[in-house]
A and B are shown apart, each in its own frame.
Chain A
Amino acid sequence: MTVGTAVVNILVFPGFLFLVALGLAGEFVDRKLYARFQNRQGPPWFQPVADVLKLFGKEDVIPEEADRTTFNLAPVFALAAVVAASLYIPLWSATSLFPFDGDLIVVLYLLLIPTVCFFLGGWYSRSVFATLGAVRAITQVFAYEIPLFVALLAPSLLANSWSISKIAAYYAAHPWLWLVNLIGFGVALVSLLGKLERVPFDTPEAETEIVAGSFTEYSGRRLAFFRLAINCEAIVGASLIAAVFLPFGLGLAPWLGFLVYLGKVLLILGILALLRTLFARLRIDQMIDFCWKVVAPIAFLQVLINLVVRELI
């Protein structure tokens, strides 16, 4: 791969621009489904694009008290980390752009960076609401991150590899073995809700209690970057779960594989929107209790099952 194609791959397709477009489309799908579940019309298809364009045109206010460097850099870092993570996930082909052994771990850590950026941005805004939101965001990390790690690492026990491409290849070579990981799939979806700060785990930005959490003081361009980061994170998280838990259609023709990939992402986004409609917001202590007492043991059960299955086959 020459430097030129690598740059195009990273910036345009399937890197930054493609991911942003997919993220905006994903936000529309989520909002439209949410609206239809509530028996109303919902926003038009261009709504996320209009939101971002408007935010780019708005005045950018930096509070006097805020730490300027951190306040400015947090949104950019959040978006950059998500885009970097997308480069290591196989989307519709059998391998990712830059595969190596252990990229699963790297992706999980890269996906942690946005949450840390939410914390830093909120904390250094020096606003009461933003500080509260930041503390809640970082508290929530400790609840959902362990189940997410355990659930995503369980399939790798069977595949005997920490490379996402090799895991996908293994499950493609052993059809029906993915059924073993269904529990882990559920756990990963619940954890993804926490990662994206969606209802019922949206305590960090609970708008009825602490206005907008970490983003309270953000306006204009920086808020747009944060929104893009969350949108892209939804797509990257869905792609990661699809690659690890739903390994179908990897050997198909590119366009057919692309359609299958879109279908998988749509399925996961649909499940997330359905969960968002069904549940109300949990308190932060209820959320942590739920994650540690219910979700984490189920994730460990998945590991146990995989260890047993590994001995059997």
Chain B
Amino acid sequence: MNVARRMVRWGQRKSPWILHFNTGACNACDIEIIATLTPRFDLERFGVLLKGTPRHCDIMACSGPVTRQIESRLVRIYEQVPEPKLVVAVGSCATSGGVFNGLYNVKSGIDQVIPVAAYIPGCPASPQAIIDGFAKLLKTLEVGK
């Protein structure tokens, strides 16, 4: 791996910008994601910034089982994110469908629709769990792993 590529990989590891997308959650996980980004938990220590537009983001934090209505939107938002991109499923519903698993109006989990890089379980996932999940995901991006 040459030097330029190494430097870009290092940049990707140190500067993950997040897009928060609710794929039909009950709002509990969304509150926890927002809480994680407040000064109390200070995710900017890891270079994380919340971005409003998919064009700027590197990591999509999705919460909720994918409802039938939001499925096509999720795919469309995912395709708008420039490469390289990662998806994190936050909460039990996003991971497996949770209590909604098997219902006629929802898919069971984000990975039924788009590829997911990390799963953060919890109902709702606590800020500590979310920070831990992000830190572990960023660790997998290290060169040689």
Interface, chain A (partner B; CB < 8 A): 31, 35, 38-44, 46-47, 49-61, 129, 207-208, 211-212, 215-220, 223
Contact = CB atoms under 8 A, between A and B. Distances in A.
Given A211-B52, A212-B53, A54 B12 contact: yes
Contacts of A216: 52-53, 55
A47 B14 contact: yes
Contacts of B58: 54, 58
B8 interface: yes
B3 to A, nearest CB: 11
B11 A218 contact: no
Contacts of A207: 50-52
27 contacts: A40-B44, A41-B45, A42-B42, A42-B44, A44-B14, A44-B45, A47-B14, A50-B14, A51-B11, A53-B8, A53-B11, A53-B15, A54-B11, A57-B84, A58-B84, A59-B82, A61-B82, A208-B52, A211-B52, A212-B55, A212-B56, A215-B56, A216-B52, A216-B53, A218-B56, A220-B82, A223-B55
Interface string B1-28: 0000001111110110000000000000
Contacts of A219: 55-56, 82
B104 to A, nearest CB: 34
Given A31-B44, A44-B45, A51-B15, 19 more contacts: A35-B39, A38-B39, A42-B42, A43-B44, A44-B47, A47-B47, A50-B10, A50-B47, A53-B10, A54-B58, A57-B8, A57-B11, A57-B12, A207-B50, A207-B52, A211-B52, A212-B53, A216-B52, A218-B55
Main secondary structure of the interface of A (DSSP, over half): loop
A58 B58 CA distance: 9
B79 to A, nearest CB: 10
Given A40-B44, A50-B47, A61-B82, A212 B52 contact: yes
A165 B53 CA distance: 43
Interface of B: 7-12, 14-15, 39-40, 42, 44-45, 47, 50-53, 55-56, 58, 80, 82-84
Contacts of B44: 31, 35, 40-43
Nearest to B55: A219
Given A40-B42, A129-B53, A58 B82 contact: yes
A56 B84 CA distance: 12
A299 to B, nearest CB: 34
A58 B83 contact: yes
A291 to B, nearest CB: 26
Nearest to B82: A59
A53 B42 contact: no
Nearest to B40: A40
Nearest to B7: A53
Nearest to A31: B44
Contacts of B84: 57-59
